[in-house]
Structure 1
Amino acid sequence: MAPVILFPAIDLKNGECVRLLRGDMAQATVFNMDPAAQARAFADQGFEYLHVVDLDGAFAGVPVNAEAVRRILSGLTMKMQLGGGVRDMRTVRGWLESGVTRVIIGTAAVHDPDFVREAARLYPERIAVGIDARDGRVAVDGWAKTSDVSALELGRRFEDVGVAAIIYTDISRDGALAGLNIASTVALAEALTIPVIASGGLASIEDIRRLTEPDCGRLAGAIVGRALYDGRLDPREALAILRASSAAV
């Protein structure tokens, strides 16, 4: 079993590092005014893969916090996946050429699945699909709208096209410190061949230990945000648990 990757999250709003509550832009807490410094701090804590979302870009449909992303990349010593406002091939190509390890496509995966397939063909294993679900249905446009497409239906559209990962977020738990939705995430992972990353609600070291249990064996990783920022989760302890579990297997 491959090790579960723990991704620390940086969500960008107005050039600052924030966390939202259940995707509500009106409920944003600023945790660091310098996202690049936050990325360096995560690297110093031992993380190896950073998760970044341009929240303003997700609503606008084009990158908005590009300068903040470039500052993060300028001193980055770990891998990075980036989403938010990725709706065309020019944006995909630009970010990958700028040093982003993989690009996350969310809203466009619902509206234009052929775009995802073409991006995955051109950049195999460097495209991830973000599936953000509200009551089982995929939300789009910065979570402002809910589509008629189910999470599983969307995931199945991209089987065998070279997509590197599915990032599955339970919106009802995101930023709420309610614990990961293991049941729904594992069910999705078991129904797909694409690796699935859990997102939304990771709150404690108990959640980290839960990721090491046998039924989570198909999960490729988990994203953590607010619990890191407010000190609920000790990053070194969390990483040590995951590495020990991987070594044991």
Structure 2
Amino acid sequence: MIIFPAIDLKDGHCVRLKLGDMDQATVFNTDPGDQARRFQDQGFEWLHVVDLNGAFAGKSENSTAVESILKNTTNPVQLGGGIRDLAGIEHWLEKGISRVILGTVAVRDPALVKEACKRFPGRVAVGIDAKGGKVAVEGWAETSELTVIDMARQFEDAGVAAIIYTDIDRDGILTGLNITATLELANAVSIPVIASGGLASIDDVKRLVEPDCSILEGAITGRALYDGRLDPAEALALIAASKSGKAGNV
């Protein structure tokens, strides 16, 4: 179980949105590189970065901020938002991104995702963002008629490194992860699944280390870390204890 701290980028700053609404953005740090360094110092081993402007524009818009993050952490970074073609994928992988996250293009052009997986094995993830059980695209501004599981199954044998499943209806409002829907997805496909949207407190982490969640690769957390509702040391200690079979003693 990996806890992925999130850095969402808007206009070069680290922000958190409420329900995916760009007009409901709270700035938590104006220096993304500093935030990346802080997360590493706290003991996190991965970083989840989203270019929010890029998700709406369809092309990378926060490149300077992403490059600052890469310079300030040795942790692997997964990046999503506005990456819509092979050139963009290759660009970021060459820059040092460990894996790219393809969202809108995975709905619009599944063949491109499959081609990317062939060219860059183990370095392409698919982001599936759901609103009311249907896949949302274009920075969550539009909802398709595709169900989450139907979309995920399109990539069963493509070599996708992970599926990042976000419940938009919970994102940024600290109501807890949608474990039921996430496990339903994880049990429907063989691709590793990462939970996202709503992780609110240590109670969510306790839920994640229960046996039925062992099928998940991890979970992403953002606002709960930024506003202090989730203590990094406590969360990471719980994860470490679960790996050594001592979760019940924590």
TM band (smaller chain): over 0.9
Could you tell me how far apart the structure 1 residues matched to 2:157 and 2:222 are?
A: 30
How far does the alpha carbon of each residue in 1:94-144 deviate from its partner, in whole angstroms, 9 at most, with x for none?
000000000000000000000000000111110000000000000000000
Could you tell me how far apart the structure 2 residues matched to 1:147 and 1:236 are?
A: 39
Letter in 1 for 2:82: G
Indicate yes or no: 2:156 matched with 1:159: yes
How far does the alpha carbon of each residue in 1:80-103 deviate from its partner, in whole angstroms, 9 at most, with x for none?
000000100000000000000000
Indicate yes or no: 2:121 matched with 1:114: no
Could you tell me how far apart the structure 1 residues matched to 2:244 and 2:11 are?
A: 41
Could you tell me how far apart the structure 1 residues matched to 2:171 and 2:121 are?
A: 29
Could you tell me how far 1:223 is from its partner in structure 2?
Answer: 0.1
Indicate yes or no: 2:34 matched with 1:30: no
Residue correspondence of structure 1 range 69-218 to structure 2 within 5 A: 69-218=66-215
How far does the alpha carbon of each residue in 1:43-91 deviate from its partner, in whole angstroms, 9 at most, with x for none?
0000000000000000000000011101111122101000000100000
Could you tell me how far apart the structure 2 residues matched to 1:42 and 1:154 are?
A: 32
Pick the aligned partner of 2:62 from 55, 62, 65: 65
Could you tell me how far 1:159 is from its partner in structure 2?
Answer: 0.6
Could you tell me how far apart the structure 2 residues matched to 1:75 and 1:36 are?
A: 5
- 1:238 corresponding residue in structure 2: 235
Question: Matched residue of 2:237: which SS?
Answer: helix
Could you tell me how far 1:217 is from its partner in structure 2?
Answer: 1.5
* Structure 1 runs of 4+ with >6 Å offset: none
Could you tell me how far apart the structure 1 residues matched to 2:93 and 2:74 are?
A: 16
Residue correspondence of structure 1 range 13-52 to structure 2 within 5 A: 13-52=10-49
Letter in 2 for 1:156: R
Provide the TM-score with structure 2 as the length reference.
0.97
Could you tell me how far 1:161 is from its partner in structure 2?
Answer: 1.1
Letter in 1 for 2:38: A
- Aligned length, in residue pairs: 246
The gaps in structure 2 that reach 5 residues or longer are none
Could you tell me how far apart the structure 2 residues matched to 1:247 and 1:147 are?
A: 42
Q: Percent identity?
A: 63
Provide the TM-score with structure 1 as the length reference.
0.98
